[in-house]
Amino acid sequence: MPDPKLLYDAVVSGDAKSSLAITQQALADGVDPLQLVNDYMVPAMDEVGRRFEANEYFVPELLISARAMKAALEVIRPLLVARGDKPVGRVAIGTVKGDLHDIGKNLVASLLEGGGFEVIDLGVNVPPEKFIEVINTRQANIVAMSALLTTTMPAMRTTIEALKKAGVRDKVKVLIGGAPITQKYADEIGADGYSENAVGAVALAKRAVAA
């Protein structure tokens, strides 16, 4: 049996092939899937986040680590779902309507997934109705929105208003981020939280579901 600790190394170094192979072998050997997530994958993505924050890793390194994590998660997640294990939280994430810039959103989504969240990635240019639908149909408890442009920021306010109108605002915490966003803006539009970077967004989401 390969040492599951190698899973940690495979995720940190962004080796998707090894990550998948080690996971498959460990599962075949009877290792608990949740243990693989909690003992190796979450700490690995924590380390990736730390290196990213310390300017040791940059976007390419983070994305290949995320890919290695996802390769393992794809075989682990169905097992967790089948036995009824619940994720830390369910996040519906997307760039707001009119905004097609998604690299920041993708970094946050990967780190959230690495932090044990189930991430429902709605992609780019997401209209408010789409967020509402996912809150209703998939019980998302966090809505995470991103905007890169000052011209698309107002869609965050529009989305929050739409959540209120649809009667689902109280079911979710709304977190926002993106280059032009500030805490002041988050307060103004009634968002529950703002993070200026991807690593901070995970801590913010954890606080949001604990509150």
Partner 1 sequence: MNSRERVLAHIAGQPVDRLPLMPITMMLACQGIGARYRDYCTDYRVLVEGQIHVAETYGFDYVNTMSDPAREAADCGAAIEYFENQPVAILEDQALLTEKTTLATLKIPDPLGGGRMHNGIRAIGLFKERVGNEKMVEGWVEGPIAEASDLRGINTLMTDFFDDPVFVKDLFAFVVEMELRFAREQIQAGADMIGMGDAAASLVGPQIYEEFVWPYEKQLVDGIHAMGGRVRLHICGNTRRILKGMGSLGCEVVDLDSLAALSDARQQAAPGQILLGNMNPVTILRNGTPELVTQVAAECHRQAGSRFIVGAGCEVPRDTPPENLRALCEYARHHAP
Give, as ranges, the residues between 2 and 21 that touch partner 1 (CB under 8 A).
Answer: 14
Task: Tell me how far apart the alpha carbons of residues 72 and 114 are, in angstroms, rounded to a whole number.
Answer: 11
Stretch that binds partner 1, among 70-78, 83-91, 99-107, 163-171 (CB under 8 A): 99-107
Selection from 124, 23, 135 nearest residue 89 by Cα: 135
Return the number of the residue (149 or 203) whose C-beta is nearest partner 1: 149
CB count in 10 Å sphere of residue 98: 17
Return the number of the residue (136 or 151) whose C-beta is nearest partner 1: 151
Selection from 48, 102, 95 nearest residue 70 by Cα: 48
- Residue 65: half-sphere exposure toward Cβ, Cα within 13 Å: 31
Rule CB under 8 A: is residue 183 a binding residue for partner 1? no
Rule CB under 8 A: is residue 179 a binding residue for partner 1? yes
Stretch that binds partner 1, among 41-49, 61-69, 129-137, 198-206 (CB under 8 A): 61-69
Q: Kindly state the tokens that stand for 130.
A: 């789409």
Supply the minimum distance, in Å, between the C-beta of residue 125 and partner 1: 9
Rule CB under 8 A: is residue 54 a binding residue for partner 1? no
